[in-house]
């Protein structure tokens, strides 16, 4: 299975970039034929994700490396309602703000583990 993980700093940067580029309302929007992707009101919904799905085992490997421990794994079949892969389409974000999140899973996990272990010392 593949998942698209996003490091928190990339999300914060994305939000700041969006705030720096406020959307305008659509002058062609009509209540008679509404388009859920636009509005007369000035709003825009963006995906802020890494747009780079990784195998879950690679994510677990990054955690193991950052923690210096080997995970005890119990493999299960695909669960009902689960999907083989997910990813965030960030093309609107990149087009409108020039920003695309780019922190790799390995780098993001290492930074998170470093922060967590310093913040929650036993």
The predicted-structure confidence for 86-119, as pLDDT tens digits, reads as follows 999 999 999 999 999 999 999 999 999 999 999 9
Contact (CB, 8 A) for 104 and 61: no
User: Which residues, 6 or more positions from 21, have their beta carbon under 8 angstroms from its beta carbon?
Assistant: 96, 97
pLDDT, tens digit, 9 for 90 and up, residues 30-66: 889 888 777 888 788 899 999 999 999 999 999 999 9
The answer to whether 2 and 44 have CB atoms below 8 angstroms apart is: no
Mind listing the domains of the chain with CATH numbers?
A: 2-72+84-120 (3.40.50.720)
């Amino acid at each position: 299975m593949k998942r698209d993980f996003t490091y928190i700093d990339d999300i914060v940067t994305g939000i700041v970039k969006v705030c720096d580029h406020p959307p305008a309302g659509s002058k062609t929007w009509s209540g008679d034929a509404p388009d859920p992707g636009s509005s007369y009101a000035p709003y825009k919904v963006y995906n802020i994700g890494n747009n780079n799905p990784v195998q879950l085992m690679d994510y677990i490997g990054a955690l193991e490396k950052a923690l210096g421990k080997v995970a005890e794994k119990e493999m299960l079949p695909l669960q009902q309602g689960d999907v083989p892969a997910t990813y965030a389409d960030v093309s609107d974000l990149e087009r409108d703000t020039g920003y695309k999140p780019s922190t790799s899973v390995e780098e993001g996990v290492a930074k998170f583990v470093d922060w967590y272990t310093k913040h929650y010392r036993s």
